[in-house]
Structure 1
Amino acid sequence: MSSDTAQAAAVQPFNFGLEYIREHFGSNTALFTQQMTHNVYRSNSETLIDHMLRCLDLTGRESLLDLGCGNGFILRDVASRLRAGGRAVAMDISPAMLELAKRNVTVSWAPLEFMEGRAEDLSRFPDGTFDRVMANFIFHYIEDPDLVCGEIARVVSDRGHAIVTIEARHSMPEMYAMHFDAMEKVGFPAEFIARLPRTRRGKMVLDNSAEILSRHFDSVEEKPYPDALRFETPEPYMTFYVDGHRFCGAKAMAGDEFPDSMFDQLYATVEAKVKSVIAEKGYFELSKQNSVFVCK
């Protein structure tokens, strides 16, 4: 093993665990910025939510669990499609997100309940409680995906199904490549840079989802949602990068270790690169790879 390889192996990645999740989702800024950007600047003519709704295949009379409901952005459309005989339960680990979801989901024709809880523990629900379970983008923060997939499979009824929406590990490579190139140019220490994620986080991502889900469901069908985010001016991308992704996690992990001036330089360096790409091509584009897995 070379000295460089040994040094890289010794680096401990930053922990984006439970404490980070509760802090990151303690306000609506990051999540809403991502949601807004994905919808306004998408290349796919169909919204991802419409794609999810087709995969849910609702009659309106189902009992549904939204696992990791966040700010209710997706639940809002789902709940409005339920009717007499249906009901929904929204669960999230963050009390702040649950409060936002309560305010955002303004139309529901069927009973709707909000619960604080973790995806790893659905013991409050008996086997086969729900006709539909949806888990959208939660597995980037799950340490034991088999435990969560097993719980989802347990609470889905024999006649129902779950949908799991997930992103590829190497989605948006353009953002990460530009970000880390700029960090090196600005002069962030190599040890700090090495501890940051260079791809989408999570032990279960698009690349291995079918394999993991198939251990818990008899039938797993992938429904891809290809997309790209196209920016014709730098401002919306910079908002997405800074507010939506917090400098790809660097700001959250930096604490007080680095002065704000270094992040100002990082901002300026990335912005200059985005401007140069737009000047050359007419747009700056992030390639995205998402899929919905329909699990029975």
Structure 2
Amino acid sequence: MAASSAQPFHFGLDYIRVHFGNNTALATQQMTHNLYRQNRETLVDHMLRCLDLTGRETVLDLGCGNGFILRDVVSRLRHGGRTVAMDISPAMLELAKRNVTVSWAPLEFVEGRAEDLSRFPDGTFDRVMANFIFHYIEDPDLVCGEIARVTSDDGFAIVTIEARHSMPEMYEMHFEAMEKVGFAPDFIARLPRTRRGKMVLDNSAEILSRHFGSVTENPYPDALRFETPEPYMFFYATGHKFCGARAMAGDEYPESMFDQLYAEVEAKVKARIAEVGYFELSKRNSVFVCR
């Protein structure tokens, strides 16, 4: 495909509030990652090991989402512990409130942006979690600086990041199908061909080291393996909204185009499963412990 001078689509604040305006996409991704993972340990258990909680920490969950990780954290706190859960999306905060049903220690929900933690004094928290928020952060240094500022001297932060080229099999198949179905080259060229974000696995240690004295990477390699096409297609079309294409199409393309795209990708997945017995997405995540 010839190079295009069109600017890439912007997946900024408006996109975030729409994409995370309900639980459908996020819950679909979480369910799929847990059901079809090949790593014996869940990613949440990996994060919890990295958090190394005694139960008496003050914790900030920055970008708590629907509370999927938060509920495991707060259930481990006891007398002396406290959690603040922050998210930019009011809808996600409401979901988190409903999902976190067991909390032995104080738990507060606040709406806010990771770029501005000015409501918290320096060194407020023994643990700060920032899990998968950097896909949507325009200024990683600003956010990392704020995380470092509110982390206590004897505490630490964990930052969970997905590799830019995670799940390449999904993107390769997706773009081949888009071209075959007939989406305009300029539209295709504006879409992300990998995981989004200015801070990804390749540069996370470098950026975090500008704000913390010690940064340790704890890799979590995994793969999602599908033996039938239906769960993958749900993950692709509902969880990832056709790799962002559906959200950016607006009224430019009729729904019938996405029906064709769905059918083309489904045919490719079925062919792969018929050939080797499964369709697999390779994934790379890491949890960075920052002191």
For Structure 1 versus Structure 2, the TM-score category normalised by the shorter chain is over 0.9
User: Residue 11 of structure 1 aligns with which residue?
Assistant: 6
TM-score, structure 1 as length reference: 0.97
2:168 to 173, 197, 204: 173
Q: Does 1:159 align with 2:159?
A: no
1:260 to 255, 263, 266: 255
Say which SS state the counterpart of residue 143 (structure 2) adopts: helix
Return the alpha-carbon distance in structure 2 between the equivalents of residues 99 and 206 of structure 1.
30
Q: CA deviation at 1:52?
A: 0.2
Q: Where do residues 30-109 of structure 1 align in structure 2 (5 Å cutoff)?
A: 30-109=25-104
1:257-279 Cα shifts (integer Å, max 9, x gaps):
11111100000000000000000
User: Residue 236 of structure 2 aligns with which residue?
Assistant: 241
Say which SS state the counterpart of residue 191 (structure 1) adopts: helix
- Structure 2 runs not aligned, ≥5 long: none
Q: Where do residues 131-280 of structure 1 align in structure 2 (5 Å cutoff)?
A: 131-280=126-275
Q: CA deviation at 1:226?
A: 0.4
TM-score, structure 2 as length reference: 0.99
- Structure 1 runs not aligned, ≥5 long: none
Which AA in structure 2 matches 1:194?
A: A
Q: Percent identity?
A: 85
Return the alpha-carbon distance in structure 1 between the equivalents of residues 273 and 84 of structure 2.
44
1:158-179 Cα shifts (integer Å, max 9, x gaps):
0100000000000000000000
Which AA in structure 1 matches 2:119?
A: R
Return the alpha-carbon distance in structure 2 between the equivalents of residues 195 and 91 of structure 1.
31
Return the alpha-carbon distance in structure 1 between the equivalents of residues 11 and 45 of structure 2.
30
Return the alpha-carbon distance in structure 1 between the equivalents of residues 140 and 120 of structure 2.
19
Return the alpha-carbon distance in structure 2 between the equivalents of residues 115 and 25 of structure 1.
16
Q: CA deviation at 1:215?
A: 0.2
Return the alpha-carbon distance in structure 2 between the equivalents of residues 35 and 42 of structure 1.
11
Q: What is the root-mean-square deviation in Å for CA atoms of aligned residues?
A: 0.5
The count of corresponding residues between Structure 1 and Structure 2 is 290
1:195-226 Cα shifts (integer Å, max 9, x gaps):
00000000000110000000000000000000
Say which SS state the counterpart of residue 135 (structure 2) adopts: helix
Q: CA deviation at 1:11?
A: 1.7
Q: Does 1:290 align with 2:285?
A: yes
Return the alpha-carbon distance in structure 1 between the equivalents of residues 119 and 258 of structure 2.
45
